Amino acid sequence: MDTPQEVDVPDGAEHAQPQLADLINATARQDEEAFAELYRVSSRKVFGLARRILIDAELAEDTTQEVYLQVWQNAARFDRNSGSAMAWLMTITHRRAVDKVRSNQSAVNREARYGAASQSMEHDEVAETVSDRLDAEAVLKCLGNLTDTQQESVRLAYYGGLTYREVAEKLGAAVPTVKSRIRDGLQRLKSCLEVR
């Protein structure tokens, strides 16, 4: 399709709206000449609205083509009793342009997330491994400061992945007792690790 060029038809002209409606109805019957005339008399306004929303001229041209493709395929859905032909065209244009803005923003967001996720952080793997081992050793030493019942409860819950109820059943203790042991044990671990 050529760049939209509209024949000057005043917005409020009485003959313009019925003419557009007639052209849309003829387009619904697959009348190519009516469709070409519809494009000729309305594409400038369609393009103008798309351009205002999208800013970019090429995107506005693409959107204008999409609008007229939709009009060609769905002209039978136009109901002149629901509103003017130009309002129908502008509604289609507005929706298409807004969809394109949202689509472009989604693509930008996806690329930004991908870039952030795929950007490798430089780090010293040896230092990280040593640090992890030192942390593990510190936790093991601090576990030694807990009472036997606290140690067993914490190990079953955190290293064994058991729930409070499962730990209670395994140890033959009440659930509130197990919760209390784990809470107290974790507080002692925290205090011990903060000192180190």
**Nearest residue to 192 (alpha-carbon basis) of 143, 152, 151:** 143
Same domain, 140 and 100: no
Same domain, 176 and 102: no
Q: Return mean pLDDT, the chain.
A: 82
Q: Which of these three, 83, 118, 153, is where a domain ends?
A: 118
pLDDT digits (tens, 9 = 90+) for 69-87: 999 999 999 998 889 999 9
User: Is 109 inside a domain boundary?
Assistant: yes
Expressed as residue numbers, the domain containing 83 is 16-118
Same domain, 148 and 166: yes
- Please enumerate, as own/partner, the contacts of 139-144 that have beta carbons within 8 Å and a separation of 24 or more: 139/189, 139/193, 141/192, 142/188, 142/189, 142/192, 142/193, 142/196, 143/189
Q: Residue 190 is part of a domain; what is its CATH number? A: 1.10.10.10
Q: Which of these three, 118, 152, 174, is where a domain ends?
A: 118
pLDDT digits (tens, 9 = 90+) for 155-195: 888 777 888 888 889 889 898 998 888 888 888 878 887 77
User: Is 3 inside a domain boundary?
Assistant: no
Number of domains observed in the structure of the chain: 2
What is the per-residue pLDDT for 13? Answer: 41
pLDDT digits (tens, 9 = 90+) for 84-104: 999 999 999 999 999 988 888
Same domain, 134 and 173: yes
pLDDT confidence bin for 141, thresholds 50/70/90: confident
Q: Residue 107 is part of a domain; what is its CATH number? A: 1.10.1740.10
Same domain, 133 and 49: no
pLDDT confidence bin for 37, thresholds 50/70/90: very high
User: Is 155 inside a domain boundary?
Assistant: yes
